[in-house]
Amino acid sequence: MRRRRLEFSDAFALVLEKHRTAKKLSKQELAQKAGLHQTYIGMIERGVSNPSLDAANAIAEALELPFSKLIGEAEALRRCSE
């Protein structure tokens, strides 16, 4: 039986949550640093909403990570789910 391929938004959500918790940031703290609403961060982490490129970049900057790192990790996670 084939496994369902992970959607990119779901992979991004997992990577975002991993980095946020590793930095010991609450959703509220991350949202404040990124200039976004905490509800929006939660929606992204649950895969309910997809961030714009600008919002994803603001999140990466708030996490003090290159935007390309978040995208690259999400791509790698998605490939592993094939």
* Residues whose CB falls within 8 Å of the CB of residue 32, separated by 6 or more in sequence, listed in order: 38
**What's the pTM?**
0.89
Residue 82 CA to residue 70 CA, distance in Å, equals 19
Q: Look at residue 13 in the predicted model and tell me its pLDDT.
A: 96
Q: Does any domain span residue 2? A: no
What the block records as the tokens of 40 is 């929006």
CATH code for the domain in which residue 46 is found = 1.10.260.40
Residue bearing tokens 């990790």: 73
The predicted-structure confidence for 11-60, as pLDDT tens digits, reads as follows: 999 999 999 999 999 999 999 999 999 999 999 999 999 999 999 999 99
Residue 62 CA to residue 20 CA, distance in Å, equals 10
Domain residues for the domain of 54 are 8-80
Q: Look at residue 45 in the predicted model and tell me its pLDDT.
A: 96
Q: Does any domain span residue 3? A: no
Q: Does any domain span residue 1? A: no
Q: Look at residue 81 in the predicted model and tell me its pLDDT.
A: 79
* Residues whose CB falls within 8 Å of the CB of residue 66, separated by 6 or more in sequence, listed in order: 60
